Structure 1
Amino acid sequence: MQHYLEDGIEIIDVIFNKEDVEAYKKMLPIKKDAPSVPVLYLASIWPKFSMFEHFLEKEIYLKETSVDELKAIDVDTIYKAKLKNEKIKKVKSFTIYEFSLTITSGDDIYTRLNQTFVGK
């Protein structure tokens, strides 16, 4: 997996394995025969980003998610996944982290996820 890291932005190559996606679909009430990757499955790639690693041992809570699903993401296809740290804001004893995750191939944007996490 190739990584590109800039200040607040990290880009990696991702591929969604057909067997893993099918196993995930069996656990949820979604169409099993749909060949595309469910948007919620994108949560599985967050730990692959080095800039998100320190959150794996921290207690953070997902506060908000917005999704722009522009094109279906196919299994067994290589995509670029860009994680961007949009904003970090301190509010009293809490820290609010805003990230965007964009899945692309070439010049095409497939999905954009914006998520807000809260931690102490």
Structure 2
Amino acid sequence: MQPYLNDGHVTKIIQFDGKEIDAYKQLFGDNSPSNLVPPLYCAKLWPQFELFQPFMKKTILLKETQVTQIYDLKVDSHYLANIYILEQKKVRQFMKYVLKLEINKNEYNCITIIQTFMERI
């Protein structure tokens, strides 16, 4: 996966491995076709982005996840994944972070995942 910076967000070329997807599906008893990637499996991608690395050293709590899937993701296909920090603000004694992950194929958006994290400060 090769990252590059593009207008304040990070882009990577990704490909989902069929064996990893099968193991994930077995863990959750998912019987969907083996060539399809479950949407929440994409959460595994967050730590692979340099933009997310500072959050790996913090104690953050996932508060909300919004998934919008337009097209199915398939194993062994190449996709462009983009990560953005949409919001970062202090709310009382917490810091709120809203991040967005978009996965595209041939300039078409396949899936968008927006997650809200909270950190006690």
> For the superposition of Structure 1 and Structure 2, which TM-score range results when normalised by the shorter chain?
over 0.9
The Cα offsets for residues 50-103 of structure 1, whole Å up to 9 and x where unpaired, read as 010111121101101111110000001110000011010101221000011100
Segments of 5+ residues of structure 1 without an aligned counterpart are none
Equivalenced residues, count: 120
TM-score (norm 2): 0.93
SS at 1:33's partner residue? coil
1:2-60 CA distance string (max 9 Å, x none): 11224641111111000000000000032253421001100111111001011112110
Who is 1:64 aligned against? 64
Q: Secondary structure at the match of 1:76?
A: coil
| Alpha carbons 2:14, 2:80 under 8 Å: kept | yes
**Aligned amino acid, residue 88 of structure 1:** Q
Decide whether aligned partners of structure 1 residues 55 and 7 sit closer, same or farther in structure 2, where only a CA change above 3 A counts.
farther
> Which residue of structure 1 lines up, in the alignment, with residue 53 of structure 2?
53
Query: Cα RMSD over matched residues?
Result: 1.3
Q: Partners in 1 of 2:7 and 2:93 — Cα distance? A: 25
SS at the partner of 2:36? coil
1:20: which partner in 2? Answer: 20
Counterpart residue number, 2:119: 119
Question: Hey, which bits of structure 1, 4+ residues long, moved more than 6 A?
Answer: none
